[in-house]
Amino acid sequence: MSRAEQLKENYEQVLEELKEACVQARRNPEEVKLVAVSKKHSSKDIEFLAQLGQKDFGENYVQEVLAKQEELKNLSLNWHFIGALQTNKAKYVAGKFSLIHSVDRVKLARELDKQAKKKGVIQEILIQVNLGKEEQKAGVEEEGLFSLVEEVLKLKQLKLKGLMTLPPCWCGEKVRPLFARLRELKEAIEKRFALSLPHLSMGMTQDFKEAISEGATLVRIGTRIFGPRI
Ligand SMILES: *Cc1c(COP(=O)(O)O)cnc(C)c1O
């Protein structure tokens, strides 16, 4: 099978499985958007999926994604930044992504706000929450979440759209309580700050079904579409 045929088959299967997971969760499939995680895969792969109708792509590495954006600038795509972001890289990222999923500290939020202001844009973001505790570093811990939200809401060039999480392990059913927790936290923020957050970014190749049943609106799937990353 050619690369193109393989990608097409994987992609169509994923779309089918997403739909199926929505039906099982009694959710409208239109509420769940697929973010195809293309890190470490080629611009050619992205272009091919774009031809099949995929618009949203997720990337983790600043240099890599900026090069891809340049190569693919003729396509109208929605880019998602989903990786750990150093504060000094904020200037390269602000204004270049439809959504930044990985804001996890005040310093980074302020820098993104400053850079977005310079460029005269409103940058949409998610706050990444670390629900797995000591096993990983990325994401704000639950205890610090409300105060981070409070600070982010003061920043005029940022628009908070929801929460994101990356479970500490691929534990199948065991990640479900974490996804449920992220939804509860989103609801708690909505109530406390009297606002509406449309997005929960959760679920990857191994656990997107569980995430959908717990309310995911953005699922970030890489391996299942593109195969292993080398
Ligand atoms: C790489 C990555 C994904 C995709 O993971 P797969 O298991 O390949 O589907 C999703 N989210 C984040 C934050 C990632 O870094």
pTM score of the predicted model:
0.97
Q: How far is the CA of 224 from the centre of ligand 1 (A)?
A: 10
In a domain, 99, yes or no: yes
In a domain, 230, yes or no: no
Q: How many CA atoms lie within 13 A of 193 on its CB side?
A: 21
Give the CA distances from residue 50 to residues 72, 78, 91, 123, 212, in Å, rounded to whole numbers and listed in that order.
10, 11, 27, 23, 23
Contact between 202 and 226 (Cβ < 8 Å): no
> The domain spanning residue 175 has which CATH number?
3.20.20.10
The range of the structural domain enclosing residue 184 comes to: 3-225
pLDDT tens per residue, range 50-105: 999 999 999 999 999 999 999 999 999 999 999 999 999 999 999 999 999 999 99
* Residues contacting residue 164 through CB under 8 Å, at least 6 positions apart: 82, 101, 102, 126, 127, 128, 129, 200, 201, 202, 218
In a domain, 112, yes or no: yes
In a domain, 27, yes or no: yes
Tell which atom from ligand 1 comes closest to the C-alpha of 35.
10
pLDDT tens per residue, range 131-150: 976 666 789 999 999 999 99
| Residue ID of nearest Cα to ligand 1 atom 10 | 220
Tell which atom from ligand 1 comes closest to the C-alpha of 221.
9
Residue 185 structure tokens:
């936290």
Residue 150 structure tokens:
């409070």
* Alpha-helical regions (H) of 35-175: 43-51, 62-71, 90-93, 106-119, 142-154
Pocket of ligand 1 (CB under 6 A): 37, 39, 60, 82-83, 166, 204-205, 220-224
- Number of structural domains found in the chain: 1
Residue 7 structure tokens:
């990608």
